[in-house]
Structure 1
């Protein structure tokens, strides 16, 4: 490739950890495999968080972005400094929609006027589809990435049809909780677990409307990418592709984790908002194979004091070693308070960290299972590493993810609440025992190991995700 022909992609994720990660994986893939220069654009707020994590001495060995190929830039998000970026998603998305396009337009214009490599394509998170008009103004190819389960996008896209067929009320918020077969190619789902139901009725209505408006734009998109792979969601992809363009290119995971380059597994990290505590990998090295329970609930989930206590005591009751990610804001945003004497009692078999290098953990031979919130990144990473899951969804699309994990793919177990709405310690300990020590767990391990093989095969030359990715790259290069 000549210097003058170098492709230059501007990539804009939704400003949330679970959306930034797959976008950065895509950016690195484009730079590594296809020679792209990447301008990765976060909001000012997120950019500051990333730089703070990068500067922490504990993460300097892990943090890696090739600055000759990937530059981190930022633009305003339209919110005031004191505004929350996590508690009111509709407000955040409205602010982004009202403010970001002019700033992005200006950034691309400045790059084209001042830099050697002009911008040749724009790639955005599907939730940021309102930015694609910027690409039209600059006459460059454009694409969107949906970083979740394809089935979730299909459900959102078809929600107007569900309203017209009386499977949903016009506001998207069912009045009663019942099991419903919403689409022929999806499993039945409890109506209380629809992905837009979060917070109160008003917020759920706004999320429903935002999802409808966002996915409706797919009709006009030539390139909509999905962080999934064909064998994982074949019935959904086959049917959804009859409605809109669906291009699964996943899993978007660094190649060293898919191809077993053990020397590299400790030297690559995502562009994260938290500092990873790498000492936990040394702790894992000292544990027996397939013995450790890994526990992490992503970047948003929070627990009240009673539920956090049940979780801690449940882990203690397993009598197994465990690695638990305890974010500083895990307890309803307050300082985490663990049960009296807990830390002392588990000191010989428990490792508590504020954030972990998740792919390195899941790929470690000592890890036996993953207690997870069922976020899509965590789900796909667990499948890619062949780790069975114990499912504890928190909100939004995580309930549909759990349905696929437990009922469709049968690679995990669900946890059930008691009459007080809590998941008790005995339920947690029993699920771990079933997964690690009983025959049922052995069958689950066989199924997830098979999916692991399918997952890794999908990105090999000539296979489904590889072929889809190359089609997309050639389009972005206008070949």
Structure 2
């Protein structure tokens, strides 16, 4: 009998590609065969910035005998199209890729008739691939790359409508805090994961959740102890995280600046602030100025990730009075290695789920600055449930002022209880991925199911 052969299909943003790449390495180490399907544009970008997967055919690691085959399909957009417009990308992929997938599966299977594709793993926005797989008799699985709690909210979309909390377009009927299920954090109705208040987006999420029902499992990059209340909602939810190899087995859409690590070596333990807002968050020039001047006010050195756009241009101008002398500013950084460096004192973060899990894994306290989607819910976990961070507060004009950054950094780093809780949460989380840990057992059970 052949080995399980997974066709893995991420939505082409870093926050989806990287967790699926890490899961692919885990499955490969357990003897599974992986075919990794990128869009042509995403594949080009990744290969340009990441030498480790520059061969399109096979990625072989002699020690662990890992093999990952890379294949591509077009996303239907032109090279010059704006891929920062996520709606444009989603709908173009949805129009163009489904008819091409059956032929690709046929071609992959023809190369190894003994080990045909037996299961498709997708991230959100790729539910159509589960439907295609289902029509071909191939099992399907979802890897949910945000918090399991946000999946629970999307899964239960009819409930808040039935309860009168929001209308059929996903817009809250009144501003209030609700608790979807017992023991979950309270959430402001303005901060639902689909908070764009956009009927097309809300309807799309509802449809996508219907497609997700073709998935036998909903794998989550989380642990039972981080979100325990969520896992009683559906037997499909399976925590198998955190995916945390510090090695470079992720795909980078931007060139990582590895000089950060040498720079950090010159500083004493817990003395440097790390500032990064992930791969999608955008702020206006005014807010960028306040952030820059706020970092100047810190009595601490800082590493600040100022992400370039898709064409590697920086879209911001630094304010004239910004000195930046205590800091190192980079376009993109090896985040896990930075967070695990002893010099890091705190993480000023947008609270995307990957960053949240990486910060927890590293035992680093947070300053939370959520921008959209599930980040507000993740902030609730960090500040209200786990109590390992503080929220940065905006003024009445919606601006986060420079003084607030300095005040909260001082408050956070003076709070011994938060530091102790951060280290305790790190230990609890790590216990999940040792041999016989909760997540490790779930992963083995999943692989056995795939066999």
TM-score of the pair, normalised by structure 1: 0.87
Q: Structure 1 residue 79 and structure 2 residue 80: aligned?
A: no
Structure 2 counterpart of 1:232, from 222, 226, 230 = 226
Structure 2 counterpart of 1:401, from 365, 378, 386 = 378
Counterpart position of 1:327 = 307
Counterpart position of 1:18 = 15
Structure 2 counterpart of 1:190, from 183, 188, 191 = 188
- Taking the aligned partners of 1:391 and 1:103, their CA distance within structure 2 comes to 41
Secondary structure in 2 aligned to 1:9? strand
Instruction: Confirm or deny: 8 A CA contact 1:167 1:182 kept in the other structure.
Output: no
> Which deviates the most, 107-116 or 214-223?
214-223
Counterpart position of 2:179 = 181
1:294-309 → structure 2 map (5 Å cutoff): 294-309=274-289
Q: Structure 1 residue 212 and structure 2 residue 186: aligned?
A: no
Shift of 1:214: 2.0
Shift of 1:176: 4.6
Shift of 1:209: 1.5
Shift of 1:308: 0.9
- Taking the aligned partners of 2:268 and 2:183, their CA distance within structure 1 comes to 42
Shift of 1:469: 0.7
Supply the RMSD in Å over aligned alpha carbons.
2.2
- Taking the aligned partners of 1:329 and 1:96, their CA distance within structure 2 comes to 21
- Taking the aligned partners of 2:252 and 2:405, their CA distance within structure 1 comes to 29
Question: Which is richer in helix?
Answer: 1
- Taking the aligned partners of 2:292 and 2:433, their CA distance within structure 1 comes to 38
Counterpart position of 1:340 = 320
Counterpart position of 2:365 = 388
- Taking the aligned partners of 1:148 and 1:395, their CA distance within structure 2 comes to 12
1:177-210 deviations in Å (ceiling 9; x for gaps): 3333344343222222111122xx4xx2122112
Counterpart position of 1:250 = 241
Structure 2 counterpart of 1:353, from 308, 330, 352 = 330
> Which deviates the most, 72-81 or 216-225?
216-225
Change (3 A) 1:316 1:269: farther
Instruction: Confirm or deny: 8 A CA contact 2:339 2:364 kept in the other structure.
Output: yes
Instruction: Confirm or deny: 8 A CA contact 2:130 2:214 kept in the other structure.
Output: no
Structure 2 counterpart of 1:365, from 335, 342, 349 = 342
Shift of 1:76: 1.4
Secondary structure in 2 aligned to 1:127? coil
In structure 2, list runs of 5 or more residues that go unmatched: none
1:232-267 deviations in Å (ceiling 9; x for gaps): 1111212x12xx51111010121xx4xxxxxxx5xx
> Which deviates the most, 276-285 or 134-143?
134-143
- Taking the aligned partners of 1:461 and 1:249, their CA distance within structure 2 comes to 12
Counterpart position of 1:378 = 355
- Tell me how many residue pairs correspond in the alignment: 441
Shift of 1:424: 0.5
- Taking the aligned partners of 1:466 and 1:131, their CA distance within structure 2 comes to 27
> Which deviates the most, 111-120 or 418-427?
111-120
Instruction: Confirm or deny: 8 A CA contact 1:153 1:215 kept in the other structure.
Output: no
Instruction: Confirm or deny: 8 A CA contact 1:388 1:411 kept in the other structure.
Output: yes
In structure 1, list runs of 5 or more residues that go unmatched: 258-264
Shift of 1:460: 1.8
